[in-house]
Chain A
């Protein structure tokens, strides 16, 4: 009978095999740990606590690399004393190249320091601030797919039979998990912001007139408004301040987003209150200006307010830093040179009234700057003069606003709409013209 040859394993080989097995076990345990936590705040303490135990260390920390400041900041630290961790997190940041972590981040190499105090790279400041005494340290760079994430540190470890390659390998895996967790966190933030903006946009729309057109006697007014992807600040309103008069307001609030939406809501509600019973648009703008002067963060609004006598076609205009209105008549379309004050909400000002006669068949067109500042993929802007030329060519077209918007879209091509686009038209119909 043949006997199997006996394999002999030396004690040394056995020890190596045991270490490998242990390494594989650690790898597998950490893998499941890394995949179990998706929240950054859960993931980091879990991993470094485990590292601290495995290495029989006194402290473990992770510094994150802040791209904006080019510094390393303590993201998480586990030490025996909570105070030490707090001091580190609140007060210590390292420049690239400063201290052990700075060196590791800059060189993107692992560093094992057996006697920290004698190493010239060691930053004494952290120990001085915390009262902690650093004896030895392993610092490993955390590098993800998009570059340096930070540095992991194991401090005052007592275990001597560690496998540095294994630690590095675990850190590579850890880096990917951190990156995924950051991505997850940012995605949630983006989604939350998107939802808030959607709500702001809905609230904002609810402040505009329920229907985009309105007719009284021979006068009709209509509006077209298309918000940009981000909540912008265009506004318009139709109002009957006194019998036989129709008021038309167009405006553009500074900034974008939720703050602009809230400010716009204030502008419209104050306007509706102040415009009631008042024939002079200049007086309304002066009062509205006073009510907006304490607007926070330098917020302001450009507006144009026109009040038309629906019987005679007599119009009175007042302007606060808003782009000129366009008179669309038989003669060439022209920008109306209306004396204008500064935008509302900046400084005291008395806004003057400018009278104007609208003849039957003529129109006044009001726009916000989003119309003529539309950009094409080459970064060029459409321009007020180009807009005037398009209006001139189509001055008899009943759907003039749609023609302008189509021209803007054709020009902008694939460029995303950066600003709200709003147009409002005031039309004095010719008697029995059927217009």
Chain B
């Protein structure tokens, strides 16, 4: 997995690419928790380059979400490919995270 921090119209977006599993999720965790440490909101993660995510990857988002909630912040996910969206809806995680179709959607939202 590779990870980039992209600046989109003044909003910092965490953009991981590849598979997020128990081996790669610690790298993602470091980036997300750094954002939480700076009390950034919304925490935006773009998943369009992500091909697979396992439960340890999802736990990383849960940790980020809980961290953000502690200062009234939000975690927003965008760009979910159909197979990733399926994982989220299958485990009812779409009830947990705010899922958006695009970064503009978040900015306007």
Contacts and interface: CB of A to CB of B under 8 A. Distances in A.
A345 B63 CA distance: 11
A243 to B, nearest CB: 33
Contacts of A297: 59, 63
B3 interface: no
Nearest to A324: B90
A199 interface: no
Contacts of A253: 55
B91 interface: yes
Interface string B14-54: 00000000100000000000000000000000000000000
Nearest to B64: A298
Interface residues on B, range: 10 to 19
Contact of B92 (A255, A298, A342): A342
B62 interface: yes
Contacts of A254: 55-56, 58-59, 62
B91 A255 contact: no
A235 B12 CA distance: 39
B66 interface: yes
Interface string A240-283: 00000000000011111100000000000000000000000000
Interface string A356-370: 000000000000010
B72 to A, nearest CB: 15
A252 B58 CA distance: 13
Contact of B66 (A298, A340, A342, A369): A298
Given A298-B64, A298-B66, A323-B90, A255 B59 contact: yes
A236 B96 CA distance: 25
A372 B82 CA distance: 17
B93 A255 contact: no
B27 to A, nearest CB: 10
Interface in B56-70: 56, 58-66
Given A297-B63, A298-B64, A300-B62, A256 B22 contact: yes
Nearest to B91: A321
A255 B53 CA distance: 11
A343 B92 contact: yes
A431 B97 CA distance: 47
A388 to B, nearest CB: 14
Contacts of B62: 254, 298-300, 345-346
Nearest to B32: A298
B95 interface: yes
A203 interface: no
Given A321-B92, A323-B90, A342-B96, A255 B63 contact: no
A347 interface: yes
Most B CB contacts (10 A, CB to CB) among A298, A299, A345 go to A298
Nearest to A340: B92
Interface in A335-385: 340-343, 345-347, 369
Contacts of B22: 255-257
Contacts of A345: 62
B95 A255 contact: no
A346 B91 CA distance: 12
Contacts of B58: 254, 298, 300
Contact of B59 (A298, A341, A342, A369): A298
Nearest to B94: A342
Nearest to A297: B63
B91 A343 contact: yes
A343 B93 CA distance: 7
Interface in A307-327: 320-323
Most A CB contacts (10 A, CB to CB) among B55, B63, B65, B92 go to B55
B95 A342 contact: yes
A177 interface: no
A340 B95 CA distance: 10
A256 B91 CA distance: 18
Contacts of A252: 55
Given A255-B22, A255-B55, A298 B63 contact: yes
A420 to B, nearest CB: 11
Interface of B: 22, 55-56, 58-66, 90-93, 95-96
Given A300-B62, A342-B92, 4 more contacts: A297-B59, A298-B65, A300-B58, A342-B96
20 contacts: A233-B55, A253-B55, A254-B56, A254-B58, A254-B62, A257-B22, A297-B59, A298-B58, A298-B62, A298-B63, A298-B66, A299-B59, A320-B92, A321-B91, A322-B91, A340-B92, A341-B95, A342-B91, A342-B93, A346-B65
Give me the 9 closest cross-chain CB pairs, A-B, nearest first.
Answer: A298-B63, A298-B62, A254-B55, A298-B59, A321-B91, A255-B56, A254-B59, A321-B92, A342-B96
Interface of A: 233, 252-257, 297-300, 302, 320-323, 340-343, 345-347, 369
